[in-house]
Amino acid sequence: MPHATPDFWYRSPGLLARLLAPVGCLYGAATAYRLRHGAYQDIGIPVLCIGNLTAGGGGKTPTALAIHKLLGRENIHFLSRGYGGSLPGPVQVAPASHAPTEVGDEPLLLAAAGPCWVAKDRAAGAEAAKAAGAQAIIMDDGFQNPALRKAMSILVVKGELGFGNGQMIPAGPLRERVAAGLARTDAIICIGEPTHDSLQSLPAGIPVFTCSYRPLADDLAALTGQSCITIAGIAQPDSFPTLLTNHGITVVERISLPDHAPITDAMLTDWAGKTERQGVQLVTTAKDWVRLPTVWRSRIRQVRIKLDLAEPAQLKSLIDSKIAPLEAADV
């Protein structure tokens, strides 16, 4: 189900967070139990996990895409559970024929870059990828999923949000206790500078790599001289129009939707009427664009976002050091 990230998750704990804290403790205990008793199946090829400690999005998919490009190998497949999709899998995503209601929106973005598998059962999905020729897997999400043994786990965090109010779901954004998650972390990728208080005392032994979002120049150029109404159904929807504004695009209205929210013909017809009356352009994210009904895609521009790593060579070297020995052992 689509969901909006509660604002109080990223404020100092107030009354609501304190009232929900006992439920959060139970949630955290359940996660810890599941992790202690997981199968951690070794499928014989390295699995690189891109995950979060927090719910509500955090840049995992852009990070997975950036790392796939950084490694530059065709034999690396993506694996996703296909949030919001109806197919249990394992199934290889076919962008030309699969709909987001079948495989989810993010797997369609991943499949545009390389082979992508959707499976509710991660171990079965990984086995299917291996049978299809994968020599390594990038798993988008799954940091708290104990089905597979991971060669490396990379934690993605947004620098200005950190770990939020430090409480567990539903009192806060945490999927598990921070210390427990960091103990399984090989590296942290921080989107933006790590300014949040919760990021000021990270363990010294975990390397931190900073990065930033960059809109594609061609997509921005197509909006030159136009005013825009933005549509964003992502975890922090206001971040999209803010990014465009920071790059010189005039945004006259911001339409915010819950993460993964369906976009209907009725909604689009209403928004298109606004743009015609005001003489402006509808603009959306790549993740939202793949959820648009096909007939609308030519009328709504997408602005694709890339992740620029500050130290790509150092990150690649670290990843290679984790997965290369396992690849060699499997030969």
Does the structure show a pLDDT above 60 at 2? no
Q: What percent of the chain has pLDDT over 70?
A: 97
Does the structure show a pLDDT above 60 at 325? no
Does the structure show a pLDDT above 70 at 329? no
Which of 174, 165, 309, 305 is closest to 239 using CA atoms? Answer: 305
Average pLDDT of the chain to the nearest whole number = 92
225-268 pLDDT, tens digit each: 889 999 998 888 899 999 999 999 999 999 999 888 888 999 99
Residue 187: what pLDDT?
A: 97
Q: Name the CATH topology of 15-209+309-330.
A: Rossmann fold (3.40.50)
Does the structure show a pLDDT above 80 at 326? no
Domains of the chain by residue range: 15-209+309-330, 217-303
CATH topology agreement for domains 15-209+309-330 and 217-303: yes
Residue 1: what pLDDT?
A: 52
290-317 pLDDT, tens digit each: 999 889 999 999 999 999 999 999 999 9
* Non-local CB neighbours of 116 within 8 Å, separated by 6+ positions: 77, 78, 79, 80, 92, 93, 107, 110
Q: 0.85 exceeded by the pTM?
A: yes
Residue 225: what pLDDT?
A: 87
Q: Is the dihedral of CA 207, 212, 217, 219 positive or negative?
A: positive
Does the structure show a pLDDT above 80 at 330? no
With cut-offs at 50, 70 and 90, classify the pLDDT of residue 189. very high
CATH number of the 217-303 domain: 3.40.50
With cut-offs at 50, 70 and 90, classify the pLDDT of residue 323. confident
Does the structure show a pLDDT above 80 at 331? no
- Average confidence (pLDDT) over 106-120: 96
Does the structure show a pLDDT above 90 at 16? yes
Cβ neighbourhood burial of 77 (10 Å; 0-12, 13-18, 19+): buried
Does the structure show a pLDDT above 60 at 5? yes
With cut-offs at 50, 70 and 90, classify the pLDDT of residue 199. very high
89-108 pLDDT, tens digit each: 899 999 999 999 999 999 99
- Average confidence (pLDDT) over 38-62: 92
What is the spatial distance between Cα 299 and Cα 132, in angstroms, rounded to a whole number? 37
Residue 115: what pLDDT?
A: 96
Residue 74: what pLDDT?
A: 83
- Average confidence (pLDDT) over 38-57: 92
Does the structure show a pLDDT above 90 at 281? yes
3-state secondary structure (DSSP) of residue 77: strand
